[in-house]
Amino acid sequence: MCGIVAYIGHKPAKELLVEGLKRMEYRGYDSAGIAVLNGGLRCIRAVGRVAVLEDKLTTVDDLEGTIGIAHTRWATHGEVNEANCHPQQDDKHAIAIIHNGTIENYATLKTYLKGRGHSFTSATDTEVMVMLISELYQGDLEQAVRAALKEIRGAYAIGVICANEPDTLVVARKGSPLIIGVGAGEYVVASDASAIVAHTTQAFSLDDEQVCKITRDGFRTSTLDNIAVTPEVRQLEIDLEQIELGSFDTYMMKEIYEQPERLRLTMKGRIKSRDGQIVLGGVSKFTRELVRARRFVLTGQGTAYHAAMLGEYLFEDLAKVPAKVEYASEFRYRNPIIVDGTVLVAVSQSGETADTLAALHEAKERGALTLGVVNVVGSSITRETDAGVYLRVGPEIGVASTKAFTGQVAVLTMLALYMGRRRYMSVEACADLLSQFERVPEMIEKTLEQNDHILDVTKKYVDQENWLFLGRGYNYPAALEGALKLKEISYIHAEGMPAAEMKHGPIALIHDGMPVVFIANQGPQYDKVMLNIEQVKSRGGRIIAVATEGDKQIETIADDVFYVPHIADPLSPLLTVVPLQLMACHAAMLRGHDVDKPRNLAKSVTVE
């Protein structure tokens, strides 16, 4: 989704802002722009990649200021064209704004502002914001921003500059992330830490409805009612190495390969396998409520939804507590019943997904205890939940979620065992699962060794336009995830479903040569899956199986096999998903697509 970056300091702003935009390219966007104060206000915008903007900037020579704002836009209000790009300016060309989020009452405000004589050149809600600031401006930018925000309903993270105040940058947020990096006499503000970390690792976040006025000499943070607040400046938890490609060609491949090392961090200090013990500091304050909970609702979108679905299986199976998974977007609008003792678990990599946040608000409103299973530290979901457990998988730059998925599943597994052990599970049973769980990273390492074989198999099928992904039990959500990975980056049509469901309709699709991926690990439903394979095989489908090491029977029926080490069934999706991630990545690359920037997608979906 949109990215914002702003700078005030002593360095030339233009280069720094463009570099910041490039670091945020992974979030997904369709146009970009920059405004710099250099005597007056200069604003340059372009449709397409940041590289297009960069080319355009080479033709402009008065952009030398040391204060500026820049933006990558993912269209929400108004089509993709230059007029709708950010920065947006007021009609006097004195004030410029960059904005992430959406303004709900923009139409009413626009009518009012038109009545006051303002003329508009874009279809954006952002132009309405800057015009309102301009209307309310009486010589103090911070005051005007504050006054305008009081009139606005919706979500925003903004950066504002004004030609009359060349030494002031004003930023504010509500519902959209905004981080202020604090350097020596300079400040880099961005919606994403990746645009800041090359310049400083000291930073603070604004809370909702807070405004920050920044000059080269310091900053002042306050509420919309102008009550001063003191934010806590902390160390950013990412470093440059984590957001650079290193020896990999794509972030997606890098992140698939990072999974073993990242999962070791996810587990670090949290499990004592010999004692059958799990220590989750983030939820310990609520242990009693969790153990006594009557019902869990797990929610998320996309990949996070698939992880949440595994959470449902894990909670019911291992903790013996009723659990239900729901798309956050559905939960929010369907008037859900929240009985006493309900816990809502919001699963999200970014912690900013609008639908998941909205579901969280709804559940809170109805009295549920709320937990976050989130990667990005300090993100909106982590701030608004009662408690939670971080994934610790590091920044995920590839748009297709990989290491966040295994991180989410690992955390949900630990949560299930945390409760299970305190409810019905024996020390021995818990210790047994934990000792296998601890070995997941090395088992993923072993699975990754088949990468060349997975590439060769992918080449055989990459021209096929329709694929099915089938699994049962714990590996049904893994099949859904495999299908999502393939479709979102290779643009191949792929569907995931329970293996048994196939014969209730979708089997009609099977034709000669159609690739059907079966997750056929040796779990409790192995024999049933083998039956389903026969049904597809006899109709001409080509079988790609993900199976357990040492299974020779599968080779007699499948066309191609990827093996994963043997592990207890509840832990198996942590392994079976890995060949599917690799296959999707190869398929996209073989088809010549940019796997890190798939068409139409954004990394973090902050609009409904």
Q: Which residues bind ligand F6R (CB under 6 A)?
A: 300-304, 348-350, 353, 356, 400-401, 484, 488, 604-605
Nearest residue (CB) to ligand F6R, 160 versus 381: 381
Nearest residue (CB) to ligand F6R, 88 versus 329: 329
Query: In angstroms, what is the minimal distance from the CB of 126 to ligand F6R?
Result: 23
Q: Which of 309, 363, 355, 360 is nearest to 335 (CA)?
A: 363
Pairing type for strands 40-47 and 3-8 reads unpaired
Pairing type for strands 210-215 and 218-223 reads antiparallel
Q: Which of 364, 369, 367, 302 is nearest to 329 (CA)?
A: 302
Query: In angstroms, what is the minimal distance from the CB of 300 to ligand F6R?
Result: 6
Nearest residue (CB) to ligand F6R, 63 versus 307: 307
Nearest residue (CB) to ligand F6R, 125 versus 596: 596
Q: Which residues contact 531 (CB under 8 A, 6 or more apart)?
A: none
Active site residue 459: no
Nearest-angstrom CA–CA distance, 479 and 250: 23
User: Which residue type, as a one-letter code, is found at position 51?
Assistant: A
| Nearest residue to ligand F6R on Cβ basis | 302
Active site residue 268: no
Query: In angstroms, what is the minimal distance from the CB of 193 to ligand F6R?
Result: 15
Query: In angstroms, what is the minimal distance from the CB of 267 to ligand F6R?
Result: 20
Whether the bond into 87 is cis, omega within 30 of 0: yes
3-state secondary structure labels for all residues of 187-243: EEEECCHHHCCCCCCEEEECCCCEEEEEECCEEEEEECCCCEECCCCEECCCCHHHH
Nearest residue (CB) to ligand F6R, 65 versus 300: 300
Name the catalytic one among 14, 213, 487, 603: 603
Query: In angstroms, what is the minimal distance from the CB of 381 to ligand F6R?
Result: 8
Q: Which of 457, 476, 468, 532 is nearest to 500 (CA)?
A: 532
Nearest residue (CB) to ligand F6R, 28 versus 68: 28
- The DSSP H or E segment spanning 325 is strand 323-327
Nearest-angstrom CA–CA distance, 25 and 46: 14
SS3 assignment, position 256: helix
Would you give the distance in Å from CA 249 to the centre of its chain? 21
Nearest-angstrom CA–CA distance, 562 and 307: 22
Name the catalytic one among 2, 212, 430, 585: 2
Query: In angstroms, what is the minimal distance from the CB of 78 to ligand F6R?
Result: 23
Return the bridge partners of 324, or none.
297
Q: Please list the active-site residues.
A: 2, 603
